[in-house]
């Protein structure tokens, strides 16, 4: 029996050398980034990672830890994306997925981690219980229905916030270009709070990029965010272009 892939490819796999891998935020069922990925230019592939136990993967055993989720995704990504340059975009809980995945590919470089785009979250290990409770209330109120299927009872969101609180990944330094992204009105994390990521991800720092909106800023202003991602990827490439909006 063939196992359903946990990743969704959006774009022309044959034409792409650079790939933006979108890692899901807490509470996702399907990928909330599909409208964003559709705005990336030709030649820049979007790949969306989805959590087992939800949506089209509902019949599978849910991932109980960050590591279990990343185990599944790296297994599904490696055959099709071998040799590609990966730009890992993680928002909220997705930042831990991105950090863990970068460590896996650094140890076993089937794919090159060309950069990390870290969005809307504090560094690994920063997850006090009070902050988790605040995040739960804020994200539920702001997001309401991120996915078409919905999570009206907050079951997936609760499980994912527990996953973040219990994350005990190996403290490692990942060497790759780093960009930080954040909503200007995010009640969960401020742009200046994200600077501690530089202790975990070393390499060229490409800047902090702020956008209108709160914690889920990426659900609006998709054209601007897509163009910013494209500029960041260009700068991560061997022949970089300057990014006008970086700080």
Helix (H) or strand (E) run with residue 19 in it: strand 18-23
Percentage of residues in the chain having pLDDT higher than 70: 84
Q: For residue 219, is pLDDT > 80?
A: yes
- Listed ranges 75-79, 87-91, 161-165; the one with the highest mean pLDDT: 87-91
Per-residue confidence (pLDDT) for residue 246, from 0 to 100: 43
pLDDT in tens, 95-106: 999 999 999 998
pTM for the model stands at 0.88
Token duo for residue 103? 């460590």
Confidence tier at 161 by pLDDT (50, 70, 90): confident
Neighbours of 106 (CB within 10 A): 15
Alpha helices of 42-93 — where are they, by DSSP H? 66-81
Token duo for residue 85? 């340059």
Q: Are strands 205-211 and 44-49 parallel, antiparallel or unpaired?
A: unpaired
Confidence tier at 17 by pLDDT (50, 70, 90): confident
Average model confidence (pLDDT) across the chain: 85
Token duo for residue 193? 């709070």
Phi then psi for residue 156, to 5 deg, are: -70, -40
Token duo for residue 87? 């730009």
Confidence tier at 139 by pLDDT (50, 70, 90): low
Contact 10, 38 (CB under 8 A): yes
Contact 143, 160 (CB under 8 A): no
Q: Average the pLDDT over 50-69 and give the result.
A: 93
Angle 227-235-237 from CA coordinates, rounded to 5°: 115
Q: Average the pLDDT over 145-164 and give the result.
A: 70
Q: What is the 3-state secondary structure (H, E, C) of 91-122?
A: ECCHHHHHHHHHHHHHHCCCCEEEEEEEECCC
Q: Average the pLDDT over 155-162 and give the result.
A: 84
Per-residue confidence (pLDDT) for residue 145, from 0 to 100: 44
Confidence tier at 142 by pLDDT (50, 70, 90): low
Contact 89, 101 (CB under 8 A): no
Confidence tier at 109 by pLDDT (50, 70, 90): confident
Contact 92, 165 (CB under 8 A): no
pLDDT in tens, 226-241: 999 999 999 887 654 3
Q: For residue 208, is pLDDT > 90?
A: yes
pLDDT in tens, 121-131: 999 987 655 55
Higher pLDDT, 95 or 140: 95
């Amino acid at each position: 029996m063939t196992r359903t892939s946990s990743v969704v490819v959006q774009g022309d796999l044959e034409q792409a050398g650079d790939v933006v891998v979108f890692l899901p935020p807490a509470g996702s069922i399907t990928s909330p980034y599909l409208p964003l990925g559709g705005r990336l230019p030709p030649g820049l592939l979007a790949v969306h990672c989805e959590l087992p136990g939800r949506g089209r993967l509902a019949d599978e055993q849910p991932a109980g830890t960050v590591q279990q989720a990343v185990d599944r995704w790296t297994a599904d990504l490696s055959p099709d994306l071998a040799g590609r340059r990966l730009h890992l975009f993680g928002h909220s809980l997705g930042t831990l997925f991105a950090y863990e995945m970068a460590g896996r590919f650094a140890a076993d470089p089937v794919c090159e981690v060309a950069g990390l785009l870290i969005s809307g979250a504090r560094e690994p290990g920063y997850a006090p219980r009070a902050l988790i409770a605040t995040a739960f209330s804020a994200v539920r109120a702001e997001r309401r229905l991120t996915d078409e299927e919905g999570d009206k009872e907050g079951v997936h969101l609760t499980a994912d916030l527990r996953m973040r609180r219990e994350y005990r990944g190996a403290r490692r330094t990942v060497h790759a270009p780093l960009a930080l992204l954040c909503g200007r009105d995010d009640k969960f994390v401020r742009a200046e709070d994200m600077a501690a990521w530089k202790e975990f991800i070393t390499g060229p720092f490409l800047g902090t990029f702020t956008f209108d909106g709160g914690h889920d800023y990426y659900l609006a202003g998709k054209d601007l965010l897509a163009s910013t991602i494209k500029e960041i990827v260009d700068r991560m490439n061997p022949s970089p272009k300057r990014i006008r909006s970086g700080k």
